[in-house]
């Protein structure tokens, strides 16, 4: 076995909620979309051809994405979820022991994907307001840096970098270093001060964007993500594709999700209303929330993470603890959100301010 993998942690997936007698339990630990698929999406899945391999280059889907973003098909590379595409990007950009700069705490797959591919992860601590410290990330660039990951908004803290600071950052990154803006939650961004990443993509030849059908489009179980990249990088990312990784069913579903996007965005808007309801209620109770631009909220609570996670489980909510740093809770079904609000009120009364 490769010795460099000995200390690589396993990916810790959000746990399903334990069943409790007389109470519906909710899994709010994986930032999934709480809605089951649209009937139109289910109807579009064609099982008749599953004896055949899928289209290795997902051309139908990439054509549609090209039309959606006014780009060309070859600006797109697909993969098994955006984490699959991220892996391809690392393979496309990093040789052995090249460095990948990313914020920390951030999406837990970053250091894993780096190590598995022989690259070195360079984590840069978040600022006190839970945002990326872009100055420190700039300072962390060395001659070995090939890739920078900006988690926008950041998982698990929810904060997104503002347009001006991101532009100032991109102006300072050497042109040969690829900057990937990981926008798994982009559809949940409401703050107008956050840049349109497509503008950044057009203005910087070293910027690529990572997006997914897993969150707003509700297809986490089918594994479809994509990169928007300049032509030479996009081609190299496609070279690193796991052959036939995106199944024909998954491609059908992604195509249908784009077709019925308006209906899906109605659901997204409801999740956003629920995010406001939860954030306002928790703030009124005295919790200090970061400015979440995603479909989850983040409660930093060193010393109380374990007891909070346990209290949530006792009322049928499976939340996502991060060591003893804090807890990330997905905005889920209305009932789950109401239960969270109640539980947080009780927690603050019984355990005290965090």
Which positions touch ligand PLP (CB under 6 A)? 31, 81-83, 107, 151, 155, 182, 184, 212, 214, 220, 225
Least Cα distance to 11 among 339, 320, 342, 347 occurs for 320
CA neighbor of 208 nearest in space, from 314, 105, 93, 332: 93
Nearer to ligand PLP, 182 or 187 (CB): 182
Secondary structure of the chain: what % helix, strand, coil (to 5)? 40, 15, 45
* 3, 36, 41, 297 from 217: Cα distances, Å: 39, 10, 10, 19
Q: How far is the CB of 319 from ligand PLP (least distance, A)?
A: 15
Contact of 77 with 246, CB cutoff 8 Å: no
Smallest distance, ligand PLP to C-beta of residue 89, A: 11
Partnered with residue 26 across adjacent β-strands are: 317
Least distance (Å) between residue 117 CB and ligand PLP = 16
Q: How deeply is 14 buried, as exposed, middle or buried, from its count of CB atoms within 10 A (0-12, 13-18, 19+)?
A: middle
Residue 213: Cβ within 10 Å count? 26
Minimum CB–partner distance for residue 69 and ligand PLP (Å): 18
* Closer by beta carbon to ligand PLP, 54 or else 81: 81
Nearest to 28 by CA among 251, 213, 290, 299: 299
Of residues 234 and 343, the one with the C-beta less far from ligand PLP: 234
Residue whose CB is less far from ligand PLP, 154 or 311: 154
Residue among 258, 251, 225, 242 at smallest CA distance from 49: 251
Q: With contact defined as beta carbons under 8 Å apart, do 278 and 297 qualify?
A: yes
Between 240 and 343, whose beta carbon lies closer to ligand PLP?
A: 240
Q: Which one, 224 or 354, has the nearer CB to ligand PLP?
A: 224
* Residue among 14 and 118 whose Cβ is closer to ligand PLP: 14
The alpha carbon of residue 83 and the mean position of all alpha carbons in its chain are separated, in whole angstroms, by 9
Closest CB to ligand PLP belongs to which residue? 81
Q: Which is nearer to ligand PLP, 76 or 107 (CB)?
A: 107
- CB nearer ligand PLP, residue 294 or residue 317: 294
Shortest Å, Cβ 179 to ligand PLP: 15
Entry field: residues in the chain: 354
CB of 277 to ligand PLP, least distance (A): 22
CB of 1 vs ligand PLP, minimal distance in Å: 25
Of 208 and 354, the one with the shorter C-beta distance to ligand PLP is: 208
CB 310 within 8 A of CB 299: no
350 to 211, 318, 343: CA distances (angstroms): 41, 20, 10
Alpha-carbon 9 to chain mean position: 19
Give the integer Cα–Cα distance in Å for 305 and 100.
29
CB of 156 to ligand PLP, least distance (A): 8
Residue 341 CB, shortest distance to ligand PLP, in Å, is 24
Q: How far is the CB of 66 from ligand PLP (least distance, A)?
A: 20
Taking phi over 0 as left and psi of -120 to 50 as alpha, with beta for the rest, 22 belongs to left
């Amino acid at each position: 076995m490769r010795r460099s993998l000995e200390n690589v942690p396993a990916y810790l997936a959000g746990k399903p909620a334990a069943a409790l007698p007389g109470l519906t339990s909710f899994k709010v630990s994986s930032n999934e979309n709480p809605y089951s698929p649209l009937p139109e999406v289910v109807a579009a899945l064609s099982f008749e051809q599953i004896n055949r391999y899928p289209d290795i280059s997902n051309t139908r889907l990439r054509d549609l994405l090209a039309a959606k973003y006014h780009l060309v098909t070859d600006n797109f590379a697909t993969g098994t979820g955006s984490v699959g595409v991220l892996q391809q990007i690392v393979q496309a950009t990093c040789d052995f022991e090249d460095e990948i700069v990313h914020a920390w705490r951030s999406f837990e797959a970053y250091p894993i994907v780096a190590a598995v591919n022989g690259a070195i992860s360079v984590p840069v601590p978040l600022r006190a307001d839970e945002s990326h410290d872009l100055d420190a990330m700039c300072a962390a660039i060395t001659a070995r840096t090939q890739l920078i990951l900006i988690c926008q908004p950041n998982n698990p803290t929810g904060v997104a970098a503002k347009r001006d600071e991101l532009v100032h950052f991109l102006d300072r990154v050497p042109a040969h270093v690829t900057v990937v803006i990981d926008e798994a939650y982009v559809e949940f961004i409401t703050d107008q001060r956050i840049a349109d990443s497509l503008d950044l993509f057009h203005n910087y030849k070293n910027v690529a964007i990572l997006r997914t059908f897993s969150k707003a489009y509700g297809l986490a179980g089918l594994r479809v993500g994509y990169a928007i990249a300049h032509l030479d990088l996009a081609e190299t990312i496609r070279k690193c594709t796991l052959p036939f990784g995106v199944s024909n069913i998954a491609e059908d579903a992604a195509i249908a999700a784009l077709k019925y996007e308006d209906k899906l965005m109605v659901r997204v808007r409801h999740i956003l209303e629920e995010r406001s309801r939860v954030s306002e209620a928790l703030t009124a109770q005295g919790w200090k929330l970061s400015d979440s631009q995603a479909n989850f909220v983040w409660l930093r609570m060193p010393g109380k993470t374990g007891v909070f996670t346990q209290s949530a489980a006792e009322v049928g909510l499976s939340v996502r603890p991060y060591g003893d740093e804090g807890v990330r809770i997905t905005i889920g079904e209305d009932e789950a959100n109401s239960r969270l609000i109640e539980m947080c009120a009780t927690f603050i009364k019984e355990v005290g301010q965090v």
